[in-house]
Structure 1
């Protein structure tokens, strides 16, 4: 079927809230390129929203999934466990920088991982509150919606939200929130709303994802660790978007040297197969009773096979080194744009987790979401998939596969430059 035919079906049968506004439909893909149902080629700077760090259809992942399909597709691991689940748990426990010996539970999505992280924290502490941050994004299930630090579109039509979720400012100096101010706000939340004796955990992204690709400094993350230790709260780090090599290390928290109690991960963990994980200190992870964690499809054999293949690819193809090199290339081009265009500012990157802001006034850092949207639309017309994000909708983020070929990368960046010339 072609794009027009598929659009007709979409409009008739797909719920508005779930329907993509895009009018092109993916047909096939390879590394950082994909082709739609009409045969048009696109360069992919979105990577399935950070899912494809090792590229579309990496041959090693494809082969691992095919091999698994010849053996076993499903048993439900709580009924009849299998090797893949325990091998993924073993591997993650070795590479995730939580305190002490790590244990693992697998789930299907980032939101599901965060829901379970809260359950585990409550069981381990006997407390119920959680504190999250402005601009944070943790999912679209009911509790994770409440945890999100942005109302529209995630909460708008679905209230009221669950209680026991409290908010603190995230440090974004560019938008007037210093690290000291963020810490004062967090301490005030603990004083006025979320009594530490009732608070199970502080949950944060070490680099905001949907919130705009703003990193928290090592000193801020260390201060969170110290507050948690002082008050008997757990530190939960959400690495769903920043994990698996996006920032030049396997996990963004490694840049700070801080060891959380629990970490969540998903997205690029299995190159597009649905899987996520909660990894934490063994005593914390073992706090809840038998059969209290899990689900029918959690840690499916095919997803586990893909995840194991991805971790092998990281070692065999120096993915972390490639991420750092990609980040350097992006930073150089961003610096050129920031100098040449008054609408581009605050270029930043941690490895290949890179972004810049589209603004209307550099002196006042005034966001220009309309121009950011126009840039993404114009890029799509020229064959480049580009995403915006951020609390103000004016951040252009870059989530192309880390494995992108240099010539494809340059072609995509040239498209952005051509769009800027046309728009401004």
Structure 2
């Protein structure tokens, strides 16, 4: 399937023959002016479909190229949750300006979502759904579905609520269609319905929906009153976004939150320079350790040859442990209260790996160097692997306990710490074994 933007046509008319998702994928990767020119060249009917599939950053960009009436039409046609996601990622002044072009009804729906904290379930729920009453007959319910289908985001699962909007259960469309028309919704409703609070963390809600295999989950306020629903596609977008953030931070970088080729060089620099500077400062610990043991290195020059090997193995061991625990935290396999269990498992794992590598290392090193040096390297390998696994496992758990993103304390940061402490262990072992 062709997804690259043609470059021989300034209006990019060749995009007209592609399907909307392919066009949206191409526009997401394009530079700003090229994207705007391409979008202006699309037929109106296709432009609306493409707009709905664009990333929020791309949507904000193409809106600048539209006439006021067209801009208003596109914004009005968006689902309230998609519109809130778009406006929530824009500067406050720009978001306010776009809110003012909406109809009064759509502005009220959007502002209701924007009042919830960023990252909460309320930000990704839709307030447009078909709500059924328990006393309704099946015939009346089907009529309500037909009447509300155009505005509702989904009709496959519908919440059942009392007059005061207290959530009572849910009914799926298949059960409604197959039921006797004289039956009531109370007869069909499933009361064992999982619901989430509007203030719950949206990543936790998304993972819950994935684990429970839920297509729709009702959202309630503190009084158990129905305020919206979250659909599976919106939940998966949250997971994709959060996993992208975690992946970026495991590499000591801030997420760029938009397609790579559409990001300027300066933005790439800004996303990386802060953590790179932090790690550079942290790396001075390694320099200080080397300076403190300068006399030891001068006495036994051969020790210097194994420094890259030891800090490399220690850093990689810590990175493996940290990555494993960050992932386990993300999918809720472990929690901060499991710290002792996790630490014991990881230390045992690290020591076993260290012993295996140390045996092989001792044999190889003793062939070319004195047996005492081989012993120093072997002992250090065992110790550094155990330490690295311990540090790599505990730092993400500590971060979660402190409400910090565990990915921040992942591979690069752990590697830097293990480098310094590993060298300290190495020289202390060398002094004890070699007597220098």
Note whether the superposition's TM-score is higher than 0.5.
no
Q: When the two structures are superposed, what TM-score results if normalisation uses the length of structure 2?
A: 0.26
Bigger RCO of structures 1 and 2 (CA < 8 A, at least 6 apart): 1
Larger helix share, 1 or 2: 2
Larger strand share, 1 or 2: 1
Structure showing greater radius of gyration is 2
